[in-house]
Amino acid sequence: MTGSSDKTTTNDKALPGAMLLGIDTARGGRIVTWLLVLICILLAAVEFVWPLHGYFEIEDQPVFYGWFGILVCIALAIFARIIGAILKRREDYYGSLSVSAEEHPAFDLAQEKADA
């Protein structure tokens, strides 16, 4: 995973979610990815041992749900980029008649810092 520092501060170690510290680092990202690779291999292997049954012929293709999922992800990522290129505008496009660019009013919030 990108964009995060590999360093954690002493303060972070005192935070409630400290046991997951490092999951958002590049190393954590690699571990998660390889763990997923392992899970995918195991799940793909299952259907070669116990044949699966579906509603349509296409489901009889080896690891259909796996490659279908990946193909759809690629297609969606490309399609979203095209849509973004055409339809993305600046945040205050609709001016004051939209909440997009305005800050949420403070009276509706209770912003507090975590005790660390």
Selection from 37, 29, 32 nearest residue 6 by Cα: 29
CB 67 within 8 A of CB 47: no
Tell the smallest beta-carbon distance from residue 6 to other proteins (Å). Answer: 11
Residues present in the chain in total: 116
CB 100 within 8 A of CB 93: yes
Selection from 39, 36, 32 nearest residue 4 by Cα: 32
Tell the smallest beta-carbon distance from residue 46 to other proteins (Å). Answer: 5
Tell the smallest beta-carbon distance from residue 7 to other proteins (Å). Answer: 11
Instruction: Please tell me the distance from the alpha carbon of residue 106 to that of residue 24, in angstroms, as a whole number.
Output: 30
Tell the smallest beta-carbon distance from residue 49 to other proteins (Å). Answer: 11
